[in-house]
Amino acid sequence: MTAETTIHKARKRLSLGPVLYYWPEDQLRRFYDMVAESAVDIVYLGETVCSKRRPLNSEGWLEVADMLTGAGKEVVLSGLSLIEAASELATLKNICANGRYRVEANDMAAVQMLAGKSGFIAGTTLNIYNTHTLEKLARLGVERWVMPVEQSRDILSEFRQQMESSMEIEVFTWGRLPLAYSARCYTARNHCLPKDDCQLRCLDDPDGMLLRTREDDSFLVLNGIQTQSALTQNLVHELNNPDIDIFRISPQSQHTGKIIKVFHECLTGQQDIDQAAVVLESFMPTGPCNGYWYGEAGMLAGCSAS
């Protein structure tokens, strides 16, 4: 690793993914005030997990978007991942028709609304597993692709070798991995509440509810209708990877500003990556998992040296 710690490509950028948890409005606004001052280049905004969470209304989100744009950030509006109700389709339609910001499609309903109309981003929950699929979507307007989290660096490399069109590729670089979505709300279930009367209990858990095995291993995180890994993926050692254009940091309630700073310093050659990896590990809620990236079970530590 030591020979490769200098970063060569200036065009590599940092992004901040959408906040996957439910934070109250004041916390969310303070968070984005911090983000405005931070070194991320791209910010994805919006509710992608549960339509019952409304920390901001659509005008509120656009206010934050404008504030971040003013601070020099590229803003992308992210759509909901699992669409069930007609009202959710209506909200998605408004997001897709916003006219100012590019949209991250996290469901094929959004792809249908955006196809052929404007350039957009294919989010991590779209099932894009091969270049035939990605090329088809590129012809319909996809300009950037966020790779699904279960895919490895070798798969990414196959994509790069086979792709004919130019495509920005973004990788989920830091955070607890989104693993599944359901009709059922597990936060409500574990509070013994029906989903229709969930009392917005997600507000109690700014980083989701930890689920442990009966051997006390931190295993998963329940985040409303979404299930995440309890462990944190950290691909800081991939900042040199020529196949990746954009490195996504997924927000967490603590340390996000510090995490951005460390990644930025590594990208700009101000910090040694091996040392940074040690610092970053202290920002993980429960520990690391990089298995997917190395083609293994996602929960495994994987190999940290590329």
Cβ proximity to other proteins: between 224 and 251 the closer is 224
Place of tokens 């905004």: 45
Is 265 in a helix, a strand, or coil?
A: helix
Residues 141 and 116: beta-carbon distance below 8 Å: yes
Q: At what angle do helices 58-70 and 86-96 cross, to 10 degrees?
A: 30
Residue 243 binds other proteins, judged by CB under 8 A: no
Q: Work out which of 21, 172, 174, 181 binds other proteins, going by CB under 8 A.
A: 181
Query: What is the rounded CA–CA span in Å between residue 187 and residue 96?
Result: 29
Q: How far is the CB of 261 from other proteins (least distance, A)?
A: 29
Residue 283 binds other proteins, judged by CB under 8 A: no
Query: What is the rounded CA–CA span in Å between residue 59 and residue 65?
Result: 10
Query: What is the rounded CA–CA span in Å between residue 170 and residue 148?
Result: 10
Cβ proximity to other proteins: between 10 and 192 the closer is 192
Query: What is the rounded CA–CA span in Å between residue 59 and residue 171?
Result: 29
Cβ proximity to other proteins: between 38 and 187 the closer is 187
Residues 174 and 248: beta-carbon distance below 8 Å: yes
Residue 125 binds other proteins, judged by CB under 8 A: yes
Q: How far is the CB of 94 from other proteins (least distance, A)?
A: 13
Residue 40 binds other proteins, judged by CB under 8 A: no
Residue 298 binds other proteins, judged by CB under 8 A: yes
Tell me the DSSP string of 109-126. Answer: HHHHHHTTTS-EEE-TTS
Q: How far is the CB of 66 from other proteins (least distance, A)?
A: 28
- Backbone angles phi and psi of 94, in degrees to 5: -60, -40
Total number of residues binding other proteins (CB under 8 A)? 69
Cβ proximity to other proteins: between 62 and 109 the closer is 109
- Residues within window 126-155 making contact with other proteins, judged by CB under 8 A: 127-133, 135-137, 149-151, 155
Query: What is the rounded CA–CA span in Å between residue 119 and residue 141?
Result: 5
Residue 180 binds other proteins, judged by CB under 8 A: yes
Q: How far is the CB of 17 from other proteins (least distance, A)?
A: 16
Q: How far is the CB of 281 from other proteins (least distance, A)?
A: 20
Residue 222 binds other proteins, judged by CB under 8 A: yes
Is 228 in a helix, a strand, or coil?
A: strand
Place of tokens 């279930």: 189
- Residues within window 52-91 making contact with other proteins, judged by CB under 8 A: 81-86, 89
Query: What is the rounded CA–CA span in Å between residue 32 and residue 30?
Result: 5
Q: How far is the CB of 122 from other proteins (least distance, A)?
A: 11
Residue 172 binds other proteins, judged by CB under 8 A: no
Query: What is the rounded CA–CA span in Å between residue 93 and residue 104?
Result: 13
Residues that bind other proteins (CB under 8 A): 81-86, 89, 92, 107-109, 111-113, 115, 125, 127-133, 135-137, 149-151, 155, 158-159, 161-162, 177, 179-186, 189-190, 194-196, 209-217, 219-220, 222, 227, 229, 291-292, 295-299
